[in-house]
Amino acid sequence: MTALRCILSGSQTGAWHMAADDFLLRCRGSSGPVLRFYAWDPACVSLGFHQKADCLDMERIRGDKKDIVRRPTGGRAVLHDGEVTYAVVVPLEEEKPRSLADIYEWINRGLAAGLQKLGVPAELQKRSPDFRAHYRNALSASCFSAAARYEIMVHGKKLVGSAQRKLGDAVLQHGSILLGDGHLALADYLASPEEEKARFREAIRERTTSVSGCLGRDVTWGQAVESLRQGFEQSLGVHLVDDEFTEEENTLIHGNEKQFAVFSSGQLQ
């Protein structure tokens, strides 16, 4: 049975979380595979590694005291507000070569199993969309505007948005598991006319769902994380070992926060 180091980081700033994910990736899984769950405080817009920040309304973001960070992974913008965020770092074993798609499916099977334990009828997307055509559309500013193969869906709507990055002999995959509708407010922070924002919000509403929307009741962060942990262990045959970052690791993570901060409503130390 594979052991995964499991870290529950709770609420931190977006810059800290991105620095933590990057740190785990650059360690190349030296302590073995790692599974981490976290939340964002304050609510934060994250941009894909190559995405330009000029798609955002900076005046509105400053006024509402939201943060902006750049993820170490690719993809499009996400507003992190009312979600469980997960991160998995997997070392690539030379004797067992696996493709990025295989890792993506493996992780998402564990997430889907955890969501099913909550009562959410989650399943994996079987087909890939035409991303070249999609990214010519204005809706492509959002990570939740299209679903890739093996992403988690409920009745044709996207529930989890994920991204990957391979560095050396390890892979980072992290993503948002929507508990509520907070992600829809991303439309408010786009540098677009109001009519276009309204169309964007409605289109994303039609293409996404949430845990609370599926179940007709609220689910707390802690409840969701416990089910996700059980889903990983039972469906993937792994053993989660509860752990936390060491003092040395925390110091290294804190030292790299500014690398990922695009805008901070507070003051990075």
If you write DSSP's letter for every residue of 110-129 in order, what string do you get? HHHHHHHHHT---EE--S--
Alpha-carbon distance 20 to 33, whole Å?
14
Active site residue 143: yes
CB 107 within 8 A of CB 200: no
Which candidate in 6, 44, 143, 214 is catalytic?
A: 143
- Look at residue 30 and give its three-state secondary structure: coil
> Residues 6 or more apart from 124 whose CB is under 8 A from it?
105, 108, 109, 112, 150, 151, 152, 153
Which among 38, 196, 59, 179 has a CA at the least distance from the CA of 115? 179
CB 169 within 8 A of CB 91: yes
Annotated catalytic residues are 143
